[in-house]
Structure 1
Amino acid sequence: MTSAHGLKTNCLSFGEVLAQSFAVIAPTTIPASNIGLIVALSGNGTWLSFLIGLLGLVFVSININHFASRSASPGSLYSYIVKGLGPTAGVICGWSLVLAYLFTGMSVLCGFANFSSILIGHLGIHPSSITLLALGAGIAWYAAYKDIQLSAIAMLWMEGISLVLIALLCLLIWAHKGFALDMPQLTLEGVTPGSLATGLVLVMFGFSGFESATSLGDEAKNPLRTIPRSVMGSAILAGLFFLCTSYIEVLGFRDAGVSITKTEEPLAFLSQQIGMGFLGDLIAFGALFSFFACVLGCINPAARIFFMMARHGLFHSRLGAAHSSNRTPYVAVTMCSFLTFLVPAVMALFHIKLFESMGYLGAICSYGFLTVYILISIAAPVYLHKMRKLRLHHVVFSLLAVGFMMIPVLGSVGIPGSTMFPVPEPPYNVFPHLFLLYLVITCGWFFMQRLRSPRIVVEMRQGIEEIHTRFNDRQKL
């Protein structure tokens, strides 16, 4: 069956929709490689930073699900914010999401190429960075172009196997420690509020993309139930996974003679310590697949946002075309895949190392996600007020969500003279200004379109209203 947008409908189960959000979060990469960065900031309070981050995103999820339980479309949060705050805010959201997903995809594509280079290098094979970038982007393009169900199943298996292996290894590490309780962590030894808040900046970035299942409004089975459960479920499951693995990894490095903050592959080291080195090798391959699943997971929602915005007249109409047999937004998928490859490839040509490119691109994408999470949390009570369903607890959840999101905003922008939120070092201090310039240019283009054709705003509202009405009627059946 084909939707009004030309996409395949009613084909993705709850597990497959959940896999979309999990793929963009890429939870494998935190315990396998990035946990030391967070421990360096939060110390024995790392587990608590993850718990606080989890609570914050639960509030964001509640605000998202006010929309997701009543309406669904390929436009993701872009469609929701148009409904709540109007076309201008929706365009800011749409462009922010496009940047967030594409730059996340670029960042993890660099991670995929870097990790591939290390693993293949052990065999004496040393392909160029651009070759590995092209390989990762090309395979992801084919999966996204061919079949959304193929994409979802691939992501589900790749991420699922990695998570199971990490959970097994962490259980063995804890058993090796005699299932001991780590009192320095439980009593927050040496932890200050400032260290928790600073660590929360990286924690929140680690969760980014948990909402990407909202882009599968046409393809999901029973979307008004499946998507809200996936949004909330991905945040909770990833949060619990991060919390447990971080606690065990910090415990595992206790008295190991090596600092977790200086170890690039902490799980590989711990697997050697307990005599299970082969598990560390398997997890390394799992992390490689997780990077790839995240590339694929980013291309899918980015393409669907371009697809939906093109149908509202904001882009060339070709981007709003669906493949006649595959029933995927193939033109948008192709463009997003090419952009995901192009930017890291150009950076590689300028001899910027893959690991550095991954950090730069990942930092930039965070501004897009934070902008969207704040907008959706403001839009939710406005939307409920329009329907005369606003209650006091809805306002409280909105304020809590915005408050939580402001912590990483302050941490990433910095406050001059502050020790808790210092201004980032170059070039990271330039990235907020680049993001603002990006919004000025893209929104300026929208205002020019609006002046030339005032009808565009009417068409956006009508398109979103038709989607909302269709799914609202379905909910009543």
Structure 2
Amino acid sequence: MAEQGAPRHTTLRRTLNVWSAVGVSVALMAPSMAININPQGTASAVGRAVPLAFLLATVGVLLIAHTFVRLSQRFSHAGSVYAFVGVTLEPRAGSVAGWLNAGTYVFYGAVTSTAAGIFLTDLARKVAAPKELPDWAAFVFAWLVLAAVWWLSAREIKGGTTVLLVTEGLTITLILVVAAITLGKLITGHTPNGQHVDMSVFTVAPGTSVSTVFLGIVFGFLSFAGFEAAATLGEETDAPRRNIPRAILGTALFGGVFFVAVTAIEVMAFGTDTDGVAAFVKSDALMGDLAQQYVAPWLSYVIVVGATFSAAACCLASVVGASRLIFALSRDGIGPAALAAIHPRRNVPHVAAATAVAAVFAIQAVGWFALRARPFDVFTIAATAGTLILLVAYGLATLGAIRLVFLAGDDRIHWWEVVLPLLGLLLLGYTLYRNVIPWPHGSALWGPCLAVAVLILVVGGVLARPAAAREAGVKLMAQQGF
């Protein structure tokens, strides 16, 4: 809730319901995009054990979801983890968490718009120009998507959240139909190359250590990332301390069932042997390829189009989430005051949204022109960096939840619940550790290096302005009624 007497241009209005919050969380998680392009990264690390990695990621996400549910039952703020951590720990930690979360959403904006560009390039090659279209065309398509996202992010969000939810829902339904038909053929043995139901997908292959699974879990967390995005609508949603927790937990539960079940079918359908895993890793759109092999070739085009819309919707949700965090941080003096402006008619932080879009464009432009990276390389680097800094923000929020359990004096929270955030913290910590120790080499170095650079920049920037952090803490306490 806004501070009493706050200037009108820094006050958001409550115009959204629980389904609007669900729409932003589901769109940012973008399951129909994620299921097409994220499991390949997991498979490159863990082979056939992709569903196992996603199952472990689901456990971690549900533990983190408990943290966000408990915190959002007490606090409703556009700054999400900035407010959660700032109130439960201290303002400087909250500022760090807020900027890291905003950075994650910006990186995911680059990930998802690039993914949309990759899907469109793949579709154009299949339909119109099989050989002539170069890889860099994906960046051009990505920027067309980004231009549309910029336009939509500056409009009132209420109608946009409905479009996000309906678009994602239709594509997910189609993917589930293809998955069900594929599973039926696996059970009956009507498969292209003798593939069959094989529960070894929930075990690691010989020669692969269990600890290696945690390298693949990063892409599992990437697939879930954004499930908590509803928390950024805490100042725009009716009854936020009831509706926001429902949206967060419901999105996390759905994502867990969807990702584990569908990745298991995907891996089985491609085959669990070396050739099958290799084909799985090389796929540009997993469900599109399955539709072509197991259902009907024309359906693969429909799924790729749906995944493209999903990626574009996820980019929009990423910009929406980033803009709310940037707005909240800037309103409290942790960022430039100009970024706290709200459009007088549309009730959106339009300047913060434009800033987030510009940052997404800059990431892609540097990747293309300065690093000479391919679109999928930019996708992977931004995905890894965004996920690693998000895990740090999740860790800070989890520490805040642990402190809340012991100090809140809230009869809704039982002392034994501290076990859940502690387990979540252990899983987050080990996943981070396993992704930087031993330090990666070659092209795998870019993502962790970028994450470390952002972390140093954010921590250094916050520590350099202690007075601003203290003032932000006072504002946070007042806004939350303490």
1:211 — aligned with what? 228
Distance 1:23 1:275, change over 3 A: closer
Partner SS, residue 480 of structure 2: helix
Q: Given the two structures, how large is their TM-score scaled by the length of structure 2?
A: 0.87
> What letter corresponds to residue 26 of structure 2 in structure 1?
F
SS at match of 2:235: coil
Paired residue secondary structure (1:313): coil
Whether contact under 8 Å (2:187, 2:197) holds in the other structure is no
1:12–1:219 Cα contact (<8 Å) kept: yes
* Paired residues of 2:41 and 2:281 also in contact (CA < 8 A): yes
- With over 3 angstroms needed to count, the CA separation of the structure-2 counterparts of 1:7 and 1:237, relative to structure 1, is farther
1:23-172 equivalences in 2 (<5 Å): 23-121=27-125, 122-124=127-129, 128=137, 131-172=140-181
Q: Give distance in 2, aligned partners of 1:243 and 1:134.
A: 32
Task: Choose 196-205 or 317-326, whichever is displaced more.
Answer: 196-205
Q: CA separation in 2, counterparts of 1:129 and 1:254?
A: 29
Distance 2:51 2:272 in 1: 19
State the Cα distance separating 1:137 from its structure 2 match: 1.3
2:356 matched to 1:336?
yes
CA distance 1:158–1:173, shift in 2 (3 Å): same
* Structure 1 position 47, deviation (Å): 2.3
Gaps of 5+ in 1: 416-422, 471-477
| Count of residues in correspondence between the two structures | 459
SS of residue paired to 1:469: coil
Shift of residue 375 of structure 1? 0.6
Residues 1:372 and 1:153: Cα distance change in structure 2 (over 3 Å)? same
Task: Give how far 1:458 is off.
Answer: 4.2
Which stretch of the first structure deviates more once superposed, 3-12 or 231-240? Answer: 3-12
> Which residue number corresponds to residue 438 of structure 1?
454
The alpha carbon displacement at 1:467 in A equals 2.6
Structure 1, residues 336-360: CA drift from partner, whole Å, max 9, x if none? 1121122212322333221111111
Q: What is the rounded CA distance, in whole Å, between the counterparts of 1:430 and 1:187 in structure 2?
A: 30
Letter in 2 for 1:358: F
Cα shift at 1:34: 3.1
Distance 1:263 1:337, change over 3 A: closer
Please, which of 431, 435, 455 is the counterpart of residue 408 of structure 1?
Answer: 431
One-letter amino acid of the counterpart of residue 365, structure 2: A
1:299 corresponding residue in structure 2: 319
Bigger Cα displacement from structure 2, 194-203 vs 232-241: 194-203
The answer to whether structure 1 residue 357 and structure 2 residue 378 are counterparts is yes
The answer as to 2:480 corresponding to 1:465 is no
**Which digits, 9 at most, give the CA deviation of each residue in 1:88-119, with x for residues without a partner?**
10111012112111011112222222222232
Query: Are residue 267 (structure 1) and residue 287 (structure 2) matched?
Result: yes
Q: 1:393 aligns with which of 416, 429, 449?
A: 416
Q: Secondary structure at the match of 2:320?
A: helix
Contact 1:12 1:149 (8 Å CA) reproduced: yes
Cα distance change, pair 461–70 in 1 and its aligned pair in 2 (3 A): same
Q: Secondary structure at the match of 2:379?
A: helix
Which one-letter code corresponds to 2:293 in the other structure?
Answer: Q
Which 10-residue stretch deviates more, 264-273 or 307-316? Answer: 264-273
1:246 equivalent in alignment to 2:263: yes
Instruction: Give the Cα separation in 2 of the matches to 1:297 and 1:380.
Output: 25
Q: Is the 8 A contact 1:201 1:411 kept in 2?
A: no
Do the aligned partners of 2:167 and 2:309 also contact (CA within 8 Å) in 1? yes
Are residues 69 and 318 of structure 1, via their aligned partners in 2, closer, same or farther at CA, if it must alter by over 3 Å?
same
Deviation by residue 1:137-182 (Cα, 9 ceiling, x = unmatched): 1111111111111331221122112111100100111122346883
Structure 2 SS opposite 1:115: helix
Residues 39 and 219, structure 2, Cα contact 8 Å, conserved in 1? no
Deviations 1:210-232 (A, max 9, x none): 21111001221221111111111
Native 8 Å contact 1:53 1:204 kept in 2: yes
* CA distance, structure 2, for counterparts of residue 149 and residue 447 of structure 1: 37
Using the TM superposition, name which of 380-389 and 14-23 deviates more: 380-389
RMSD of aligned alpha carbons: 2.7
Report whether the alignment pairs 1:22 with 2:32: no
After TM superposition, the structure 1 stretch with the greater mean CA deviation from structure 2, 309-318 or 120-129, is: 120-129
Matched-pair contact (CA < 8 Å) for 1:83–1:383: no
- Equivalent pair of 1:204/1:408 in contact (CA under 8 Å): no
Q: CA deviation at 1:195?
A: 4.8
One-letter code aligned to 2:463: F
Equivalent residue of 1:173, what SS?
Answer: helix
Other structure's SS at 1:245 match:
helix
CA contact (8 A) 1:309 1:315 kept: yes
Which residue does the alignment assign to 1:475?
none
Q: Residues 96 and 462 of structure 2 are in contact (CA less than 8 Å); yes or no, is this contact kept in structure 1? A: no
Change (3 A) 1:89 1:119: same
**In 2, Cα distance between equivalents of 1:301 and 1:448:** 26
Give the distance between the partners of 2:281 and 2:465, measured in 1 at CA: 50
Q: In 1, Cα distance between the equivalents of 2:282 and 2:67?
A: 38
Give the Cα–Cα distance (whole angstroms) in 2 for the partners of residues 442 and 204 of structure 1.
22
- Which stretches of structure 1, 4 residues or more, deviate above 4 A after TM superposition? 1-8, 124-130, 255-258
